[in-house]
Structure 1
Amino acid sequence: MSWLRALKETARSGMKVERTRLEPLIALRATAGLALVVGLSLAFLGPGSAASSAFGAFQAAIVTFQRSWRPRPVLALVAGVTLAVSTFLGYLVGASHTAAFLALLAVWTFAAGLLWAAGPTAGIIASGNVAIMLVTVTLPTSVGQAAGHAALIAAGGVVQALLIVLFPVRPWGAQRDALADALAAEADYARRLRQDPGAPFDPAPLMAARAAARVTPRQARRRPAELHGARGLAERIRPVLALLADPSVGAPAEGPARDRVRALLAAAATVLDAAARAIRHGTPVELPGPALAVLKSPGDRELLTGPAGRAAHRLASLLDDVVETAEPGSGRTARVEESMLRPTLPALVPLVVRAVRAELRPGSPILRHAWRVTAVACAGYLVGEALPFGHGYWAPMASVMVMRPDFGQTYSRAVARFGGTLVGVGLATAVVQLAAPGQYLSGALAVLCAGLMYVLMRTGYAVAQVCVSAYVVFLLGMGGVRWDQTVPDRVGLTLVGGLLAMAGYALYPAWETPRLRTRLADRLVADGRYAAAVLRQYADPEPDRAGVRAALLAARDARVAWQEADARAAGEPVRHRGLSRVAAADAAHALAAFTRTAMLLESHTPVLPAGGAPAPVAGVPAAPGVPPAAAPPVTAGAAALAEAVEAATARGAKAVRERRVPEFAEVRAALPACAEGPFRTAGELLAAALEELTEALRH
């Protein structure tokens, strides 16, 4: 993609307004907290203190809208306290010497850039602290006042946290939405399988539901019963749906059996949607009668036999469990596995340190972002001080707020911030000119603008910036600063800060395009390990279910990492380096087919019959002296095929990284030893998918 086209795409993305579900009650609560803090501070402490407390409450509320599974009161407290510490230290250093403050700004900004390694929420909190610190350090005039302002900022965060505790709005709403989205994604998958038995499935909703299911020990004791178990059931339903729809191991592609499968898939989608609605809103499950009639019909015994019949029976059983789990107050136990416990804040500190330390290596995009944002923030501070404007901190503030570790977000946010600032400042200036608001009316207008921002935050960064810009104009007007003293400075320096951010990324980029081959190789290794783990279940009388589960999660992580990298690379003004867009798309399609076959194999793993004795497997002789009914469910050739798949994908990944074409001949060579039947068919599909990957990378 050329630079001109990339700039057009990022500008269009930055100014785009999304249609999304609003949360007016949560926005109203955040606005009430801000109004309470500003009103009390203005009445008893004066406009300067009101501005400080407003920044704390404003930032704390913004953080609670981020996509994080941490309790919202904790996020508000962390945002308020860390901003208070940043402000106090900034004033102590900045009051003595400009060079000392510049050094502190460099250290603080570099640390904020590295904190993106701990996740987007940590990066947003840290970046916001640096940006607001640049403003708040100019408010106090003594060390005592600086301590008072810091205390008020922290108090703003405390007030927002208390309001969340005292007036909960849709508690566990984020977790409910994540679980409901996972079930809805399964429902959509079932509908698409009716027309396309090989339809792809994006595991992102299931991964989000798993992340949402991680809770602190305190949360584990309070979590609603309907949020227990449904995610695990959704995980188990997905391969059953695929097995039922696949004509190679399930029902024939045409005929009465296929019609029965389509009816079952439609009924499953209806039930899953009903369970999703019940979980999302905390209401009883309402199941349509026709869907229940299809699932309870005995027609499967006549039309569906073999793997398809077993899959239909298993699907009905799993859907019954989903409905039972989704009922409010179902009484399910609240036991939480150790691996699903989220660390407390003190326990999180060493994990964050470890994540940051892992990024201190050459080539790390997080480290490059930290150096880049530090250099741009310091340069913006010096430029702002040198220009004949007042309030020179607007330039570095704009730079810090728009810069992100990737190209697309940095450029789109820079455009959106300038456009939103221009509109917001213009509207606020018109109001000031027409109404000439006093101290209290300016405060009320500032709170109103903040409330609009909370409501519209998720519609787009440009819309949010319109509200934020008007908020700042009214907030400074509350302190007696005339609009003509801030508006030209704000617009001009925001433009300077945005241009510096864009130039910084262009001069010191962290392009994703050259790393696509590495991401593809990582995905190939993870997918190969998952497929090998599934194949070993057919070779071991005591299969390692936990190992298969761990390999599946690793494969999903690698797939999502690849998809995110591919999406970022698509908007970069960089020519491909060894992996064209067509080759990347074809390679992703081949790996999707590979993992889908492995998933079908996992859903069709031999199991013990109800009596406890292992089921005999066709083509596998019983061990000497052992009755045929007790023969272990071992499939001939499974162990050799598993070893061939794992070794071939590991060597293939090495070839991909070295820009060579991978070869997977040993997988095809291991197939003749495999038992005939569905297992042999699946093995051939695995080999064909790897051969498709080879052809994709020849171009």
Structure 2
Amino acid sequence: MSWLRAVGRAARAGLRPERARLEPLIALRGAAGVAVVVGVTLWLASPVVAAASAFGAFASGMATFQRSWRPRPVLALVTGAGLAVSTFLGYLAGAHWALFVVLLAVWAFLSGTAWALGPTAGLVSSLTVAVMLVVITLPTSAESALGHAAVIAAGGAVQAALIVIFPLRRWGPQRDALADAFAAEADYARRLRHDPVAPFDPVPLMTARSAATVTPRQARRRPAALRGKRVLAERIRPVLASLADPAVGAAAEGPERDRARQLLAAAADVLDAVARAVRKAEPVRVPAEAEAVVLVDPGPEDRLTGPARRTGLRLITLLSEAVSSATGREGSVGVDTAHLRRPSLRELVPLTVRTVRRELRLDSPVLRHAIRLAAVTPAGYALGAALPLGHGYWAPMTSVMVMRPDFSQTYARGVARFVGTLAGVTVATGVMQAFSPGTYLCAALALLSVALLYLLMRTGYLVSQVAVSSYVVFLLGMAGVQWTQTVPERVLLTLLGGLLAMAGYAVFPAWETPRLRDRLAERIEATGRYAAAALDAHGAPASGRREAVRSALLDARAAALAWDQAVARANAEPVRGRGLSRRSADAADAALSALGRVPMLMEAHIPAPDAPPVPDAVPFAAALRDATAEGAAAVRARRPPDFSGMRTALDRWSPSAEDRVVRRSAELLVETLDDLEAAFRPLPRPRPSRRRSAP
């Protein structure tokens, strides 16, 4: 893709608003936190101090709106503390220009490495750099700087206190994540009625798993309706797929298929009802038609037979458990009340050090992002100070808030920030010119802008920047700064900061395109381990391999998600040499999706520990594990993989009536490996036609 086309696509993405569910009460609570801090400091101090103090409450409020499973009060407190430290250190070095530039470079580098911990940590760290640039222009002494830092930290404490006092939608993000998982399975069940091999997007289940990872304190306070429900959702997914697939479930046509479609439709209705109940913390209301189909044992007159009947009965049992558990009643069969443990903040320190240390390599996107920040931020500060525009800190602040570890987000946010800034400044300036509001009216207008920002934050970066720009103009107006001193400079320096961020990425990029083969190889290896673990669980049930299957499934999901994200980023990058053709990438993706589907079907039939073993499955699993590992190495070395040995391993299998499902699964695995191998074969070149010359 050319640079012009890539930048144009990123610009359109940045200007496109998104649909999101609005939460006005939570937005009002965040704006109230800013109002408390601004009101108290206006009463006790001066408008200048109030303007500085507003940054702490404002930024802490922004942190609580990010996607994080940490308690919201903790996010607010940590953000306020980080802002206070960066402000005070910035002031101590601010009197010496060269020293401050060095501190700014070091702080920006550390801020960039925080992206290794996730987007929430990255955003909060970016805010500390932005506040360091702005607030150090306000204090006049060390004592004053310490006071400003304390007021900023108090802003985070106020936001945390309001969350504790007014707990709106307590456990709301966790409820939404679990409800989304059940809703995704309901949609999956409906699609399976028409397409028995429809794909399933595991992201909602992965998100639900992240949401279910809690600290011991959270585990004690977690509502009963959120305990163990994710495990039920995980168990329902392979049962739905196994029932619909003609290879191991209901027949492709006839009464069995009709019964399977009936069960899938009713299961979708039940899962939707469970999702609504979890999201709204209310009892489950299952439609009567669905309840008659899936919540009652059909008895001997059921039209399903053999493995399909066992799968149908298993689905009915799991749906009954989901309905019972979603009401909050304890003791439902099969619900795991153990929790996934999240480390406390104290335990997080060594984990953070290890995570960041793993990213300290030159090919890491996080390290490259940190280096870009450390170079662009001081350069923007120096350039802004050299230009006769005033308020030169707007340029580096824009760069910090725009830059991201990947190309598309950096360029999309750069364009969106400039357009949003222009629109917000224009509107706010028009209000300032038309009404000449005083200190308190400016404060009220700034709070209104904050409330709109919190309300519309998830509708897109462009919309949020309109509110942020208006907020800054009104806040500076409250501090007594005239609009003519800020608006033209802010627009020009915002444009300069955005251009610096884009130029920084162009000069020192972190392209995803060259890493596509590595991501694909990781997915091949992880999917092969998942399939081999499922075969081992059938081959030797007494060995208790269910946990190994679960662990391999999580690895395969993570590898598949990393591959999907890499392809999405690579498709947006202006890089021509992909190292992997689009045809091969698409064909390999389809083959790996089919390969991962086979062990998912086998999960629905994992036998009990006392079940008879399937001896031939164990050597076949070992051969599969070795073949996919060798295939992954071949892909990394730019060689076509060779899975012909799996056909030989299948020929050694001695089929019997007891292992029909496992044998059929092994055949499907070999077929999908053949498709994966074919994805890397070059297409035959068409021969030019030979035309006879006319006599």
TM-score range, shorter chain: over 0.9
Answering whether residue 688 of structure 2 is matched by residue 687 of structure 1, we say no
Cα separation, partners in 2 of 1:132 and 1:548, compared to 1, 3 Å: same
Answering whether residue 583 of structure 2 is matched by residue 600 of structure 1, we say no
Cα offset, 1:602, TM superposition: 2.3
Kept in 2: contact 1:200–1:592 (CA 8 A):
yes
Local SS of the residue matching 2:464 = helix
The match for 2:182 is 183
What CA distance in whole angstroms lies between the structure 1 residues aligned with 2:187 and 2:336? 30
Alignment of 1:465-544 (within 5 A): 465-540=465-540, 541-544=542-545
Cα offset, 1:543, TM superposition: 3.0
The match for 2:630 is 651
Cα offset, 1:695, TM superposition: 1.1
The match for 1:151 is 150
The match for 1:280 is 279
Answering whether residue 652 of structure 2 is matched by residue 673 of structure 1, we say yes
What CA distance in whole angstroms lies between the structure 1 residues aligned with 2:337 and 2:147? 43
How many residue pairs align between the two structures? 675
Which letter does structure 2 place at the counterpart of 1:642?
A
What CA distance in whole angstroms lies between the structure 2 residues aligned with 1:294 and 1:246? 20
What CA distance in whole angstroms lies between the structure 1 residues aligned with 2:336 and 2:74? 24
What CA distance in whole angstroms lies between the structure 2 residues aligned with 1:302 and 1:416? 58
Task: List per-residue Cα deviations over 1:301-326 (Å, max 9, x = no partner).
Answer: 54111110000000000001000110
The match for 2:620 is 641
Q: Select between 268-277 and 564-573 the one with higher mean Cα deviation.
A: 564-573
What CA distance in whole angstroms lies between the structure 2 residues aligned with 1:579 and 1:422? 41
Cα offset, 1:578, TM superposition: 2.0
Cα offset, 1:670, TM superposition: 0.6
- Give structure 1 stretches of 5+ with no counterpart: 609-613, 616-632
What CA distance in whole angstroms lies between the structure 1 residues aligned with 2:222 and 2:300? 38
What CA distance in whole angstroms lies between the structure 2 residues aligned with 1:224 and 1:320? 20
Which letter does structure 2 place at the counterpart of 1:90?
G
Task: List per-residue Cα deviations over 1:552-609 (Å, max 9, x = no partner).
Answer: 111111111111111111111111432122221111110010010111122222336x
Cα offset, 1:358, TM superposition: 0.5
The match for 1:625 is none
Local SS of the residue matching 1:303 = coil
Cα separation, partners in 2 of 1:331 and 1:154, compared to 1, 3 Å: farther
What CA distance in whole angstroms lies between the structure 2 residues aligned with 1:675 and 1:442? 82
Kept in 2: contact 1:636–1:674 (CA 8 A):
no
Cα offset, 1:362, TM superposition: 2.4
Which letter does structure 2 place at the counterpart of 1:683?
A
Task: List per-residue Cα deviations over 1:416-449 (Å, max 9, x = no partner).
Answer: 0000000000000000000001111111111110
Cα offset, 1:678, TM superposition: 2.4
What CA distance in whole angstroms lies between the structure 2 residues aligned with 1:428 and 1:605? 63
Cα offset, 1:542, TM superposition: 2.3
Kept in 2: contact 1:536–1:543 (CA 8 A):
no
Which letter does structure 2 place at the counterpart of 1:223?
R
Cα offset, 1:673, TM superposition: 2.3
Q: Select between 265-274 and 578-587 the one with higher mean Cα deviation.
A: 578-587
Task: List per-residue Cα deviations over 1:270-298 (Å, max 9, x = no partner).
Answer: 00000000000000000111001112262
Local SS of the residue matching 1:284 = coil
What CA distance in whole angstroms lies between the structure 1 residues aligned with 2:48 and 2:241? 63
Percent sequence identity over matched residues? Answer: 62
What CA distance in whole angstroms lies between the structure 1 residues aligned with 2:39 and 2:361? 48
Normalised to the residue count of structure 2, the TM-score between the two structures is: 0.95
Cα offset, 1:698, TM superposition: 2.1
Alignment of 1:113-512 (within 5 A): 113-295=112-294, 296=296, 298=298, 301-328=301-328, 330=330, 337=338, 340-512=340-512
Task: List per-residue Cα deviations over 1:17-61 (Å, max 9, x = no partner).
Answer: 111101111000001111111011111111111012100000000
What CA distance in whole angstroms lies between the structure 2 residues aligned with 1:450 and 1:583? 48
**Runs ≥4 residues deviating over 3 A:** 299-302, 328-338
Local SS of the residue matching 1:670 = helix
What CA distance in whole angstroms lies between the structure 2 residues aligned with 1:329 and 1:497? 55
Kept in 1: contact 2:228–2:337 (CA 8 A):
no
Local SS of the residue matching 2:278 = helix
Which letter does structure 2 place at the counterpart of 1:646?
R
- Give structure 2 stretches of 5+ with no counterpart: 683-695
Local SS of the residue matching 2:214 = coil
Which letter does structure 1 place at the counterpart of 2:578?
R
Kept in 1: contact 2:450–2:471 (CA 8 A):
yes
Cα offset, 1:473, TM superposition: 0.4
What CA distance in whole angstroms lies between the structure 2 residues aligned with 1:698 and 1:401? 44
Answering whether residue 684 of structure 2 is matched by residue 696 of structure 1, we say no
What CA distance in whole angstroms lies between the structure 2 residues aligned with 1:159 and 1:300? 63
Local SS of the residue matching 1:19 = coil
What CA distance in whole angstroms lies between the structure 2 residues aligned with 1:560 and 1:518? 14
Which letter does structure 2 place at the counterpart of 1:562?
W
Which letter does structure 1 place at the counterpart of 2:410?
T
Alignment of 1:606-645 (within 5 A): 606-607=607-608, 614-615=610-611, 633-645=612-624
What CA distance in whole angstroms lies between the structure 2 residues aligned with 1:56 and 1:140? 15
Kept in 2: contact 1:300–1:309 (CA 8 A):
no
What CA distance in whole angstroms lies between the structure 2 residues aligned with 1:131 and 1:530? 45
Cα offset, 1:330, TM superposition: 4.4
Q: Select between 598-607 and 514-523 the one with higher mean Cα deviation.
A: 598-607
